[in-house]
Amino acid sequence: AQPMLRLRYVFEGEQGVSHARNRAVAEACGDIVCFLDDDSPPAADWLDALLQPFDDPAVGCAGGPSIPDYQGADVPAWLRGDLQGLLSGYGLPYAAPTPVERWEELPLSCNMAIRRELFAELGSFRTDLDRRGDQVLAAGDTEMADRIAKAGWLVIYVPGARVHHLVPPQRLTKAHVYRIGRGLAESHIILTSGTGALGVLRWFASDGWYATRMGGRLLPALLRRDPLWFDDYMRFWMVAQRIPLRVRSLLGSRAG
């Protein structure tokens, strides 16, 4: 028989996933705080695998793969590429626990653990990012992991710490993917705000260069009728969305 777990339910009255995470940190008593989503059931050995890297005192954060579980639904051909990341899919090509620090490799909070002391040292999850009601923002978890890495702590990808992220059929539509993509573009504007005039110009140039690069990839994909052309198109579309959003943000800050 399995031992009974000591569980305690805590209600957080402030809506938003970042508020919920911060409440969990405030209530936690252990040295390591682990995070899951309510639709991300873990593998049987998940916790052991996720905690193992913390035997190294230099490790501040660890996270593992999030495998989309479509629950038997037919997955459209256009959704079988990297776009699964917009549905909380996450995985890296490492067979053993590996330090990561590039933004696109940092773990997601549906499968993440952080040393509790780091919240006192580095601050809590940003509440202007991530989902809140109908607001589809993101990257609060990635920003936290990035903060940890930049402070000199190791962030470890743990391939054996697996969760399966349940994806309902109504999310397997281009309309839903567009909605998530728009939220990611808005999140990027929030993350890169406050950089001054030179910073704004740099980001405009970066967005323009990346959109041009993605447009250059998209045309050959269309010509060869690649079934995953929509993958390249969404990359182009999300970056293109940033440009008017950045203009609006800049004009709003000047008006304020």
Q: How many domains does the chain have?
A: 2
Residue 136 lies in a domain: yes
CA distance 46 to 53: 13
pTM of the model: 0.90
Residue 74 lies in a domain: yes
Specify if 173 maps to a domain: no
82 domain residue, yes or no: yes
- Looking at the structure, tell me whether residues 35 and 143 fall in a common domain: yes
26 and 136 fall within a common domain: yes
Q: What is the pLDDT of residues 51-104, one digit of tens each?
A: 999 999 999 999 999 999 999 999 998 887 888 999 989 999 999 999 999 999
Structural domain includes residue 140: yes
Q: Does residue 111 lie within any of the structural domains?
A: yes
- Domain membership of residue 60 as a residue range: 17-168
Is residue 228 domain-resident?
yes
- Considering the domain architecture, whether residues 24 and 122 belong to the same structural domain is answered as yes
Judgement on whether residues 78 and 136 belong to the same structural domain of the protein: yes
Of 168, 201, 236, at which residue does a domain stop? 168
pLDDT given for residue 102 in this prediction? 96
pLDDT higher at 69 or 6 = 69
Calculate the average pLDDT of the chain: 91
CATH number (domain holding residue 148): 3.90.550.10
pLDDT digits (tens, 9 = 90+) for 133-176: 788 899 999 999 999 999 999 999 999 999 999 999 999 999 99
Residue 37 counted as domain residue? yes
Predicted confidence band at 255 (pLDDT cuts at 50, 70, 90)? low
Q: What is the dihedral of CA 42, 38, 102, 174, to 10 degrees?
A: 110
Q: Which two tokens stand for residue 165?
A: 């992220």
